[in-house]
Structure 1
Amino acid sequence: MKQPSNETLNPSRGELRRQKFLDVAETLFLQKGYAGTSVNEVVKNAGGSLNTLYRYFENKLGLFEAVFHKKTEEIFTPFLSCDYWQADIETNLKNFGSALQKVALSEEGVAMNRLVVAENNDEQAQIHRIFLENGPQKAIQILASYFECEQQRGTIQLENPQLAAAQFLEMIKGPFYYRLMFGEQIDENEMQQALLQAIDLFLTGARIQPKAEK
């Protein structure tokens, strides 16, 4: 009779092993890219076995997707709480925008963008899908949902909240994307100025103005 594995008897140990695979894989993906990282190297650095890694993630692409999902859960989970959006709209946009800038324009965020853009292999389309779904599209959807709530409250008027969310995020990231990709350093004051101006421009166009008295 086959004996249950230690990981089956002790799920917490199994979860620690899975987490170790993810941590090592993230480091290697950022350092070497997707094509340059092998599952054998992940196992060598993380410990465990190749069979265990395949049981958790099925293949290298599954491991890559799990790494991305883990990172975006860490980033976006706080924004899913109703308590996060209890301030006025200016404060909410400032908090959300500042948090997104710190992630997207960080050294790690730029490295992840380079990784995705640089890949040119048979799994390229899947890599792009994983990045878009777990990164930009998730951020847009969270902000669009907030805009829809504000629209229902009658504070703003938008023809397309989804498009408006994408445009707002582009205003706070776009001026810096290529500069960072080409190795230039960005001052935090520049990012703050871009964020505040984006909020001003957005609310100037979106806020419902009181009707003038006749």
Structure 2
Amino acid sequence: MAALPPNEAKSARPIDRGVARRHAFLDAAREVFLEQGYEAASVNDVVRVAGGSLATLYAQFGNKEGLFLAVAQEQHERFVRAITPDCVDNLPLEQGLQVIGEKFLKTILERDHLSFYRITVGEARKFPQLMQRNVSANADKVRDVVANHIRTTASECEDANTYASYFLSLLLSRHHYRALADTTYVVTEEERRDHVNSAVRFLVRAIRGA
């Protein structure tokens, strides 16, 4: 019998049961935490959704807090991947900022990200490191991309980092805060685009001293 090519052989290997069980617990826990919040959530509900046993869950995560921190880490990584802009090196200042801004705003307004942010704020005293990460680390990646784009396309700008911070603050205003406060608040694609465009025009005028 002929051997499978390396790529096919690799894909044919069964997923480790422990890894598969961990993924199942994380997916179920994310669903439960988003629906019920941290305090009300029960590990029994997680096991009911994911299958398996409490003993296996405790062996992998230690307790409910350990499970929540693991879910938070996965959520953080998912968020960072989602907000990371595509390459805008070939675009002029305004167009590049528009692309970056639309992707960032679309991501932060997604229901799951808003829900997890509310949980993080509510549990800030218990998990201060999560709040710090949401406030700073999540935005740092986008801020760096914005600052680099400004340096590349607006050499006259002497403080790209400060202008990049202003840009993200403009994006977060209005829609993000209202969406956090009101779960029924909906922002259309056109409204997102217009909001980003207003922020871009404001920033570009400031950079160019107009």
1:44 has 2:45 as partner: no
Change (3 A) 1:77 1:106: closer
- The equivalent of 1:56 in structure 2 is 60
Q: Which residue of 1 aligns with 2:197?
A: 196
For 1:3, the equivalent position in structure 2 comes to none
Which residue does the alignment assign to 1:171?
170
1:35 alignment partner, SS class:
helix
Work out whether 1:185 is the aligned partner of 2:186.
Answer: yes
TM-score by length of 2: 0.75
Q: Which amino acid aligns with 1:187?
A: T
- 2:17 pairs, out of 13, 21, 27, with 13
Matched residues in 2 for 1:137 and 1:91: separation?
25
Q: Tell me which of 74, 77, 82 is aligned to 1:73.
A: 77
Amino acid at match of 1:27: E
Structure 1 residues 97 and 54, CA gap change in structure 2 (3 angstroms): farther
**Counterparts of 1:59-208 in structure 2 under 5 Å?**
59-77=63-81, 84-88=87-91, 89-119=93-123, 124-133=124-133, 135-150=134-149, 153=152, 155-156=154-155, 157-159=157-159, 161=161, 163-180=162-179, 181-182=181-182, 183-207=184-208
How far does residue 97 in structure 1 lie from its aligned partner after superposition? 1.7
Cα distance in structure 2, aligned partners of 1:79 and 1:177: 15
Deviations 1:60-109 (A, max 9, x none): 2232222222223223236668x724332433322222222222112223
Gaps of 5+ in 1: 1-9, 210-214
Cα distance in 1 between the residues matched to 2:61 and 2:94: 41
Q: Name the aligned partner's letter for residue 89 of structure 2.
A: Q
* Cα pair 2:143 2:168 within 8 Å, conserved: no
Q: Secondary structure at the match of 2:173?
A: helix
Distance 1:194 1:32 in 2: 32
TM-score by length of structure 1 reads 0.74
**SS state at 2:98 partner:** helix
AA in 2 matched with 1:63: L
Measured after TM superposition, the shift of residue 191 of structure 1 is 1.7
Distance 1:191 1:31, change over 3 A: same
- Give CA-to-partner distance per residue, 1:95-139, whole Å, 9 cap, x none: 2222222221122232223323344xxxx4243431441x34233
Instruction: Tell me the distance in 2 between the aligned counterparts of 1:24 and 1:87.
Output: 41
1:78 and 1:114, CA in 2 relative to 1: closer, same or farther beyond 3 A? closer
The Cα RMSD (Å) is 2.9
Residue 178 of structure 2 aligns with an amino acid whose one-letter code is: R
- Per-residue Cα deviation, 1:3-52 (whole angstroms, up to 9, x for no partner): xxxxxxx7622221111111111111111100011223212321223333
The answer to whether the 8 Å contact 1:80/1:142 transfers is yes
Number of aligned residue pairs: give it: 193
Matched AA of 2:176: Y
- What residue number does 1:6 align with? none
CA gap of 1:192–1:23, structure 2 versus 1, over 3 A, is same
